[in-house]
Structure 1
Amino acid sequence: MKQAPAETPMAFIRSIVLAYERYGKDPTHALHEAGIRPSQLKRIDAKVTAGQMETFSGLAMRELGDEALGWFSRPLRHGANGMLCRASLPSPDLHVALSRWCRHYALLIDDIRLELSVDGATACLTIHEHADLGAQREFCLVSSFRNIHGYACWLADSRIPLSHAAFPFSPPPHAKAYEWMFRGPVSFNQPRASLRFDARYLGLPVLRDDRDLRRMLQRPLPLIVLQYRRDRLLSGRIRELLKARGMALATAEALSSELNLSTRSLHRHLAEEGASLQQLKNEVRRDIAIDQLTRSKKPVKQIAAAAGFQNEGSFNRAFKEWTGKTPGEFRKPPDVTR
């Protein structure tokens, strides 16, 4: 079996070691079980695999009795994260579920507060810091976001791509890893930590039930360190990109780059939705053509170009296939006889 690449910064392992020191306990056993040599901790550029991170952090939570791994002024006792999940699970959609998560989190922790807000088409998760998080600040903020973002993806059974991730500290030596962790634009030295994404994802229904939750809680940490694959709003996002940017994003390669997906993943996700890129391009071209034929007096040649066709002849043939009429027949007002 191919071994997973090491992507998680060693800085996060060092943060957990700090928690051991805070509680006066020895991390040697947990480091050994995770296959991490103490000498590796000193290497600034070192990384560990997702499996190593899962093993070490899982053991640390049990040995320290703190699911927050020392971030806060008091421990987050065993079962707290499971309680948060159960409190938000019986929700009609992701908006209600995440709002409940944030509200119940505030009942457990005073050091930070999670806030969900919506501004027009953009949803934002913000962390407000009410205490000095010290040397564990970065690991706390990053893990808190990856935790709630991963849980949201699991609830909706969908990848939720981020449009922006912001952090209130300088770029760390391992800043490159943030591109892998958040798969979108990342900025540092911001006023506060925040994640932004398309607000339409908040309308996705919660698709998990209590049986799914019990199974997930047996191994919850992969939600934090692994990326979710399916995107249930992908077709709609592609339609909007094609309408807004037209032929500049007409190829699978250009769209894949814009969406932070591989070309292969793009085609696979569309197939899972019962769609194809060509189908979406045709639908957008048709909608553009109908809109301009109906609402403007532009020559058909110009409308053909606006819809992404090289010549008027191919546009005429495609339009008749879509509507049963040529562009001229479609635009011609009905013949009203008395």
Structure 2
Amino acid sequence: MPVKPHHPDAEAAADVPPHVIRQVLQLVASRGHSPERLCKGLGFTPENLCDADFRVSYRQTSLLVRRAMQQWGDPAIGLATGARQTVVCFGLPGLGMLTCATLGEAFQYLIKYQRAAGALTINEMSVLDEHHFVTEVSTRFHDPELEPFFIEEIFVSGVEVSRAMVGSHFRPARLELRYPRPDYAAAYSEYFRCPVVFNAPLNRLICDIAWYHCPLPTHDRYMQGSLQAQIDQLLETETPRNDLVESIMNELRGSVDEVPGLAQVGAALNLSERTLRRRLAELDTSYQRLVDQVRYEAALDLLKRSDMPLVDIAMATGFTDARNFRRAFKRWSGMLPNQIRQGAPAPRLR
């Protein structure tokens, strides 16, 4: 399966839950390395990864993985990362998998929402012949140095989740990989327990068809339809974001009451003020626009979830008095703060 061509900004699209990053950070932390240091300059902190709505880009993930590979010192880090994944690590798609009737149905559901599950690869599953089914994987971007990491991670995580769902006796029939045999190839036997072929035409995991039809003990036909419908609705409403914009907003959310200057935010992201301003202009936005967005979000949250007086909300969102806050809120939304408190739906930032 060839790597698909992509828009130059595609690697910067913050559209993937940070499931892989979470496992990588836990892995390096287990050897005494600092997760905070690995994240420095990437536009997020380990604490951001606890936010269910937080998303990362391929660019951010690949930079962190390269740092982790240097600190970890073990080239088999992709295998070790995949082995840490559980069905819960896939988020809502993982929950949907548990409602499915068979293992094959569960993985078809996961593949349907692979981006929402944090996949940094392109995954397809099909019946190969009357005896086997196959999962074929390719990288989203041309990155030969990191291809083994991402391929190992996705295949090992799939095998580990399969064993958790149908039993530890699950084993593939054969694993085929496009890249050359690495020095640590012996480790593959530990994880996959099947023959491994390197320098193959495609990245494929081939399994006996009996596993595809293997029933899942967690299946509930009464809950499957309604629960999957709710999950479908949540996952289909997601929109892609840019990693630079998300990184700046993360910085701003930590200091809404005293917004840092553009130069200060740029320093945190290892970018000059001039470069940051130019890149925001290329994205058809501005620093002030992002400041307004973060302040508006914070104001809406306080108006809806607290009984704080307007003067206190004004101070909490970086204003000196309630009058200036009202003016800004009117400019942002076309409404007054009290209208939100009275239950009016909040519009998007104007």
With normalisation by structure 1, the TM-score equals 0.40
Mark the structure with the bigger radius of gyration.
Answer: 1
Higher relative contact order (CA 8 A, sep 6+): 2
TM-score, with length taken from structure 2: 0.39
